[in-house]
Structure 1
């Protein structure tokens, strides 16, 4: 099988061993080579993925999303909301206006949460970085897990009838209609929008990529072999919940976390435990809870965090068994 990233590895080897003059088979060489190669590979896949998804997004607007999901009930709409969350440009920073817009438009609370759970978990940046670092199999597992978590979390919140824990003012807000007409955009305009999104997102995440890959490079070169497998391997019954409990109160850009998780896996941390840690940091970060506090009461936030955390723990155990 042809390694499409071989040119990047060749460049990394040239820079590490010839330009920088670092002796092969040393810890420093392993770390530097890892950083150079991963940074190039993530940037390449990130640019391609952002362009593709951004082009697709020109056909999707918040107003169109609300019309599709408004006043709709049934498990298929939880799946639909979760799937829409994978291709929409909303992160935890925009949770409040999106939440308000969905509720005002008549989207059921549970369906709204399916969207909110999946949207920050699965996006083009995370997919590109995971693909570049952990490979296609782990990426597919992550995407499927993110969608399923959104469906389960939203469905449980929906059947619990928790609307009373949404602040009253949310139901009184009227959201304006979308004035743009995406169907009238030309191919050239869509391409230009996609290019602008590539520049914008790359400009905002490049530093996180470099920081994350650099930390991962340190783990890759200097962490003792098998130490994580020894203390947090599949045989440790409490490894997954401990990883989730550590991740929930943390906040980090997903782009910075993925290379670190890659190195942890390389040193023996099981994939299920690793993905559970990554999901807990991304899906229920403290800043997102602070933002949602503006529109949700403490009881609903606590239920939301508990459901997502328990679901992530279950997912981690499941994939540790399967992989």
Structure 2
């Protein structure tokens, strides 16, 4: 199915009353090719990660992190963020659960940064659309941001800037009792993950690919290089500033990234834009305001934004 996508999309465009070499023809071919491609990639990886996620419930994650020393715990937390099925929507209940379990504040932030930013959807689409080198570099730098940002926040000793009702909650013992889950249960969990995740993100995928198709078909070649190229020093901070207020996820933003790159935008600039959208989204910040005071939220946003800026410049320098 995957190998037949390109000829099938070309045949479908040829069957339409549209010239293939026109702007509309190029946009339609992009949309008809990328939509099933992304959905196939996503379905396969979400099924596999759904099975993996059956080993990492919220209770088990808290138990693994509670009582660990900072540094090692930050690395563990960021790594668990990659393989656990939590997004910014889960920010408040996860944050409360981690605090109750005695997980240090900086370690908690390492997890909360990595979970949305370096998730299976983002990595799958990056590997599938840009190749394994880009995917691995993004994974490494994303984890580095999560680990270092969490460690810095932990060193700043900002527990006083938790909301009072969170700080005063009684501590709970982080325990995990293994459940009798067999292979068929894990396969069922994989199928359920496909239903939940793919079922939830497909509108974002269609919207993102539609926008990307418009860019691919109608934006002149190398147009983006004029203000998103490697030589434009202010492009990376501008991309971060634009990305933070937006609300979408990796499934919706990566097809747009693909189209921007095809039109001459620098990889580091568009990835900084993507990371700011999914790692520093305004909705997540608003949700976290329920448990964090303004100074701690500002510190979180500032530290992560600096990390994303560095990633953008490193990508532009290396690639």
Class of the TM-score when normalised by the shorter of the 2 chains:
over 0.9
Any conservation in 1 of the 2:236–2:312 contact (CA below 8 Å)? Answer: yes
Map 1:108-257; keep pairs closer than 5 Å: 108-173=104-169, 183-257=179-253
Equivalent in 11, 17, 39 of residue 14 of structure 2: 17
Any conservation in 2 of the 1:38–1:132 contact (CA below 8 Å)? Answer: no
**SS, match of residue 269 in structure 1:** coil
Task: Tell which deviates more after alignment, 177-186 or 243-252.
Answer: 177-186
- After superposition, the Cα gap between the structure-2 partners of 1:29 and 1:295, relative to the gap in structure 1 and judged at 3 Å, is same
Instruction: Measure the CA separation in 1 of the matches of 2:170 and 2:7.
Output: 56
Say how many residue pairs are matched.
319
2:268 counterpart of 1:272: yes
**SS, match of residue 237 in structure 1:** coil
**SS, match of residue 291 in structure 2:** coil
TM-score (norm 2): 0.95
Any conservation in 1 of the 2:249–2:278 contact (CA below 8 Å)? Answer: yes
Instruction: Measure the CA separation in 2 of the matches of 1:221 and 1:202.
Output: 27
Instruction: Measure the CA separation in 1 of the matches of 2:177 and 2:295.
Output: 39
1:113-157 deviation per Cα after TM superposition (whole angstroms, max 9, x unaligned): 000001011222222222333232222222222211100110110
Any conservation in 2 of the 1:63–1:177 contact (CA below 8 Å)? Answer: no
**SS, match of residue 184 in structure 1:** coil
Give 5+ residue unaligned stretches, structure 1: none
Any conservation in 1 of the 2:113–2:279 contact (CA below 8 Å)? Answer: yes
Q: CA RMSD in A?
A: 1.8
Give 5+ residue unaligned stretches, structure 2: none
Any conservation in 2 of the 1:234–1:270 contact (CA below 8 Å)? Answer: yes
- How many Å apart are 1:316 and its aligned residue? 0.4
2:50 counterpart of 1:54: yes
